[in-house]
Structure 1
């Protein structure tokens, strides 16, 4: 059981560290994903342009909009994954197929539980704050906090809005399955040739996430757009995942399905790499701490 606790704590710690280190890239990629007009004066022309404009208009806080909700979402996700891991440890060893099925079921349950958190996070992250001209001075309007954002969603869209984008989110359950499959396959092969170090875990985590994100990215764009408040115009509203895909292709071309992919790939790769690297380091320290605590008690 101590190993399960150690895995839970190290996984949560690694996830939080990785999230904090790469969050500005999440903000940039999210805003590019939901941007439909690329020709306006305030439109982001690319990842670097988005980062500069966000920093100039909103400061460093703008790059970290919604971080609290994201950390909470990661904590809940890790908690549910840990529960699954403990359950698996209590049974006979699972086959690869059984593990994938269990992962899919657990991932789907996690999506249904955490989707409201990510709806709040998406709306906070993608909310632009521009400089307004005051009487002889420029002022920055304040952004809504987490609680205020939740209340606004309830007042304007109702409780059902918290499950917007849940279908593409369920499809994205395959993302971590692809990531961990690639990671474990490469890890098992390389371990036969040499002992793995922190740099190896970093690179393997990066490769696994690169493959997973590249193959599922269009659904990330659809999910982000569906989690925003939907337009009252029929032509601009996404009725479902398929309708969203068709409208993006029709109005923006196939390139619209991959908006912000450069920033997202960089963020995803770094997040996965940092997660695996810090998880391994934190796991060793956690095991040592639990062993010491057990001896003291």
Structure 2
């Protein structure tokens, strides 16, 4: 039964990962284009804001531009979220002595960290998600005079998925900007723009300040916060379907 439950977690995670990329991929394209453009390279496209970027890409490149790189993204998302939830559920079961045992923040962090290598900033997000989830369950259970986890609904999962993602993005976004600029490396007269990570940090801080490390974060939040909400709403509801099916059996 435990093995079946772990694969149900994996299936729910894979379905959620597919749905998330299918809905949110255009904003990921916009985010990447904002990140790699610091405004000093004339041959790179320039956009005023996120809506303008979406409109410009759609007009000049069509849907293929907005969904550039969709296939590897959706495959990677489905596999990584499926594996993440699989290993995360296994780790939680290992740390929990029984089904009624509530894990500590340290245990949630450890469980998420074990699976977090498969998903960017997973440890931070899942720790925040689980801690907020416990608080919300306790609050609603106290009001309803019950300790049933089913007191949570899709609106609750939307809040949990979104708020936990915001926390993770604020912590990790500067690293993503640095990585993106290193990957692109626009050249001037054949010379690489950035020598290494420290060079990126120095140049960004000098010419753009703190805002440079969060450039494109609006598109990132618009894409990833709703995406996280979709992921957890789909994931939790798919698990509910599995639970209902198991009870009928």
Change (3 A) 1:238 1:92: same
Map 1:148-297 to 2 at 5 A.
Answer: 173=120, 175-194=121-140, 195-228=151-184, 231=187, 232-234=190-192, 236-239=193-196, 241-288=197-244
Give the corresponding residue for 2:88. Answer: 85
Unaligned runs of 5+ in 2: 97-102, 141-150
The structure 1 segments of at least 4 consecutive aligned residues displaced by more than 6 Å after TM superposition are: none
With normalisation by structure 1, the TM-score equals: 0.68
Return the offset for 1:25.
1.0
In 1, the alpha carbon distance for the partners of 2:182 and 2:156 equals 37
Give the corresponding residue for 1:34. Answer: 36
Change (3 A) 1:49 1:89: closer
Return the offset for 1:217.
1.3
Is the 1:6–1:287 contact (alpha carbons within 8 Å) kept by the matching residues of 2? no
Instruction: Pick from 60, 63, 67 the counterpart of residue 60 of structure 1.
Output: 63
Return the offset for 1:268.
1.1
Unaligned runs of 5+ in 1: 112-172
In 1, the alpha carbon distance for the partners of 2:195 and 2:220 equals 22
Please provide the CA RMSD for this pair: 2.6
With normalisation by structure 2, the TM-score equals: 0.80
Change (3 A) 1:4 1:202: same
